[in-house]
């Protein structure tokens, strides 16, 4: 099973940069997009709904031009879940999940702390609730693949020029501790399972010429670690300030 994930910084803007033909040529079984800035009904091009994929969108209830997630699935899921049961966050359109018999794949957009309207306290509040949720579902008899723009990096190898900067987005003590705790308590970074030492980055928050950070990944149930066959970050084309992450799993849905 191939899973592709990308923060698009606006679906229609990314489409104008060539996203649509590229993403559907990658032979992905699951495509998870975040920060779509649109509703399903605002997308006018038929190319965004190709034969062979089932498309699902979650948008911000009050303003679809903010946030938003999407999942494209080759095989129809058993169920689609929007939101995580968080009263303060579910209406923002930041989580969408496709459920299969033994595996769930989520498309997640962690609230930003660095965007013009970002709020670090809101982000940390969300992460606190998410941690409790992930520890609860860890006990379920199913595997999870959570694809997203986490806006966090754990180790110095994940942040370019980390030795010279103290202001790297998502690299605060609290955020690094949160990720480290998650990885010690039943979850893993799928990219690092395949590429333990690779210095690759997925987000350039200050532009293409600025240092990169690997904040985008697929966080998986620990039970899936042995199923990760390969992982890569695609940088040949630019669709947004983020790069796509592609992971191949030895899994059949």
* Domain boundaries along the sequence of the chain: 2-249
Among residues 74, 76, 11, which one has the least CA distance to residue 39?
A: 11
Q: Which two tokens stand for residue 63?
A: 């303003």
Predicted pLDDT at 112: 86
Local confidence pLDDT in tens for the 253 residues of the chain = 999 999 999 999 999 999 999 999 999 999 999 999 999 999 988 999 999 999 999 999 999 999 999 999 999 999 999 999 999 999 999 999 999 999 999 999 999 887 666 788 899 999 999 999 999 998 888 899 999 989 888 888 888 876 666 677 778 888 889 999 999 999 999 999 999 989 999 999 877 777 889 999 999 999 999 999 999 999 999 999 999 999 999 999 8
Beta-bridge partners for 54: 73
- Residues whose CB is less than 8 angstroms from the CB of residue 189 and which lie 6 or more positions away in sequence, other chains included: 154, 183, 217, 218, 219, 220
Q: Indicate the CATH number of 2-249 among 3.30.420.40, 3.40.309.10, 3.60.10.10, 3.10.20.30.
A: 3.60.10.10
Residue 156 phi, psi dihedral angles, 5° rounding: -55, -30
Predicted pLDDT at 117: 67
CB 76 within 8 A of CB 54: yes
CB 165 within 8 A of CB 213: no
Predicted pLDDT at 196: 94
Task: Report DSSP state, residue 213.
Answer: B
CB 135 within 8 A of CB 128: no
Distances (CA, A) of 129 to 38, 39, 62, 174: 26, 26, 22, 14
CB 239 within 8 A of CB 197: no
Predicted pLDDT at 167: 72
């Amino acid at each position: 099973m191939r899973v592709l994930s990308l923060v698009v910084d606006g679906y229609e803007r990314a489409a104008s940069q060539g996203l649509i033909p590229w993403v559907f040529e990658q032979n992905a079984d699951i495509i998870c997009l975040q920060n779509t800035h649109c509703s399903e009904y605002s997308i006018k091009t038929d190319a965004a709904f190709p034969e062979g994929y089932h498309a699902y969108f979650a948008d911000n209830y009050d303003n679809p031009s903010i946030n938003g997630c999407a999942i494209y699935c080759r095989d129809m899921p058993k169920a689609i879940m929007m939101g995580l049961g968080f009263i303060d966050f579910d209406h923002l359109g930041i989580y969408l999940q496709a459920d299969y018999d033994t595996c769930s794949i989520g498309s997640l957009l962690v609230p930003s702390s660095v965007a013009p309207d970002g709020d670090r306290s809101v982000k940390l509040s969300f992460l606190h609730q998410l941690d409790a949720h992930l520890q609860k579902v860890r006990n379920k008899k199913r595997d999870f693949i959570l694809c997203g723009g986490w806006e966090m990096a754990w180790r110095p190898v994940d942040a370019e020029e980390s030795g010279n900067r103290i202001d790297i987005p998502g690299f605060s003590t609290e955020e690094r501790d949160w990720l480290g705790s998650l990885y010690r308590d039943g979850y893993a970074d799928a990219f690092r399972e395949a590429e333990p030492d690779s210095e690759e980055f997925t987000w350039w928050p200050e532009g293409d010429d600025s240092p990169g950070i690997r904040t985008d990944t697929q966080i998986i149930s620990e039970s899936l670690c042995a199923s990760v066959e390969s992982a890569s970050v695609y940088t040949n084309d630019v669709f947004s300030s983020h790069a796509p992450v592609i992971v191949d799993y030895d899994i059949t849905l």
